[in-house]
Amino acid sequence: MYISYTTSGRSEVVSRGTSTCWEGVALSSVDGSSSTPLLSVRNLRTHFDVGGHAVKAVDGVSFVVHEGMTLGVVGESGSGKTVLSRSIMGINTASNASTTGSVRYNGTELIGKSKRELRDFWGEEMAMVFQDPMTSLNPVVRIGRQLTEHLRAHKKMSKAAATELAIQLLTWVRIPEPEQRLSNYPHQMSGGMRQRVCIAIALACSPHLLFADEPTTALDVTVQHQILNLLSQQQSERKMGMVLVTHDLGVVATRTDEIAVMYAGKIVEKASTSTLFSDMRHPYTQSLFWSIPKTSEPKHTRLSAIVGRPPNLAALPVGCSFADRCPYVQPICREVEPQLTTDSNHSFACHLPVGSADADAALSSNIAQGLAQSEAAAIRRDAQTGASA
């Protein structure tokens, strides 16, 4: 279940816990290459027109999600994760947004469909769990009605049958005494409870694909754990495809089959979870990983944050968007934009992938020259060597 930290600074996923779906998923993704995948996103771009400038929130993202598989999408705030999941579902409400590319759900193209046509997919085929359970429930409507209303309208259920299913759903998401809870208003529940209700609502019409958009960001750590367990348990029981969006590598580490790391609207590294954690190739992935505080470190160790801030999406720099914050940066990074490698098992977009001889040389020379972004890298290296010594 946990990641072990090796002294080299690399890490490995020791085990994916007791999850039995791991083998199943591996099988399905093998034969999935021949059959139609549940969700196939190709070259998706969502640009917002802001005062004549295109803000490239999602810029050419491609990935595939098979049935019963969980894809983790990781990135900082502002890297386009939320816009990505909303663009795939087609629930971007901003009038200045334009989405191009291809989103195929079970072979059906979704981009270009009208809202009316998409409504058949929402809820029944794909659903979403939102970030903040405090705001994603209607404050003036009882939980019971929020759960049953949709069932009655879409599935033409009787009131009694819908209520019964609502109780069943609340039981599935582990809410005690669900009968009583039905008559509660959202403000009478805690954040964790509300997120459970949100998950129950999302699961009500048994979707085949679930988007979880930072489902635990607004919750405290112990509740986070419960909610994530609940999500992955429901996912494996229902053989759903799931896209788990988060900024926390620790969240996706044990609960996903594949991870896509996003930076400035693009996927910069994508690999199966075990590969990614054992062999991080993109400096951004590595920086993200190092910014997780480690219990093995001595007290008061300085947390190695990523220097600087994400680039302005309206005016992306030439070359690699991460160049200004990268400890390995070389002149080529500021001139040529690295392309995602085509290796389907482990693809990354970097001129000097971590672990290569070039990268080591680049890091040493940057530290020697005292470049700003290498400062953090140096601290990190010192900490690493200090810990191993």
Partner 1 sequence: MKPEFPRDRLSNVSSSVTGITDVAPKKATIREVIQAMPLRVKLASLWLLLVVFGAVYAKIDTAWFGGSLPLQNPNFQTNGFDRATGTFGTGEPIEGMSGAHWLGTDAIARDTFARLVHGGWVSLVVVVVSAACGVIIGGFLGSLVGFVRGRTETIIMATVDVILAFPALVLLLALVSIFEVRNLFVISTVIGVLSIPAYTRVARANSLAISSREFVTAARAIGTKPSKILFREVIPNVLPTLLAYAMVAAAFVVVVEGSLSFLGLSVQLPTPTWGNMINQARRDIKINVAQVVWPSLALSVTVLSLNQVGDYFQQRRAVKGSNL
Rounded to a whole number of angstroms, the minimum distance from the CB of residue 118 to partner 1 is 8
Would you state the structure tokens that stand for residue 240, as one six-digit string?
């759903």
Q: Does 222 bind partner 1 (CB under 8 A)?
A: no
On whether the CB atoms of residues 129 and 198 are closer than 8 A, the answer is: yes
On whether the CB atoms of residues 259 and 252 are closer than 8 A, the answer is: yes
Rounded to a whole number of angstroms, the minimum distance from the CB of residue 158 to partner 1 is 18
Taking CB under 8 A as the binding criterion, the range among 114-122, 163-171, 357-365, 367-375 that sits at the site for partner 1 is: 114-122
**Cα(211)–Cα(51) distance, integer angstroms:** 31
**Cα(274)–Cα(289) distance, integer angstroms:** 14
120 versus 382: smaller Cβ distance to partner 1: 120
Residue choice 25, 83, 199, 201 for contact with partner 1 (CB under 8 A): 201
**Cα(366)–Cα(330) distance, integer angstroms:** 8
Amino acid identity, position 182: L
Total site size for partner 1, rule CB under 8 A: 39
Q: Does 128 bind partner 1 (CB under 8 A)?
A: yes
Q: Which of residues 143-182 bind partner 1 (CB under 8 A)?
A: 149-150, 153-154, 176-177, 180-181
Say which DSSP state 186 is in.
G
Q: Does 49 bind partner 1 (CB under 8 A)?
A: no
On whether the CB atoms of residues 22 and 274 are closer than 8 A, the answer is: no
Residue choice 12, 109, 117, 120 for contact with partner 1 (CB under 8 A): 120
**Cα(15)–Cα(258) distance, integer angstroms:** 14
Residue choice 187, 294, 302, 309 for contact with partner 1 (CB under 8 A): 187
Q: Does 23 bind partner 1 (CB under 8 A)?
A: no
Rounded to a whole number of angstroms, the minimum distance from the CB of residue 68 to partner 1 is 22
Rounded to a whole number of angstroms, the minimum distance from the CB of residue 49 to partner 1 is 16
Rounded to a whole number of angstroms, the minimum distance from the CB of residue 130 to partner 1 is 5
Q: Are strands 258-263 and 70-74 parallel, antiparallel or unpaired?
A: parallel
Q: Which of residues 229-288 bind partner 1 (CB under 8 A)?
A: none
Q: Does 208 bind partner 1 (CB under 8 A)?
A: no
Q: Does 358 bind partner 1 (CB under 8 A)?
A: no
Taking CB under 8 A as the binding criterion, the range among 199-207, 229-237, 250-258, 285-293 that sits at the site for partner 1 is: 199-207
Sign of CA dihedral 250, 256, 261, 266: negative
**Cα(27)–Cα(341) distance, integer angstroms:** 24
Q: Does 99 bind partner 1 (CB under 8 A)?
A: no
β-sheet bridge partners, residue 109 = 104
Q: In what order do the strands lie in the sheet with 108-109?
A: 53-65, 39-50, 97-105, 108-109
Secondary structure of residue 363 in the 3-state scheme: helix
> Which residues contact partner 1 by CB under 8 A?
89, 91, 93, 95, 115, 119-124, 127-128, 130-132, 135-141, 149-150, 153-154, 176-177, 180-181, 184, 187-188, 198, 201-202, 204-205
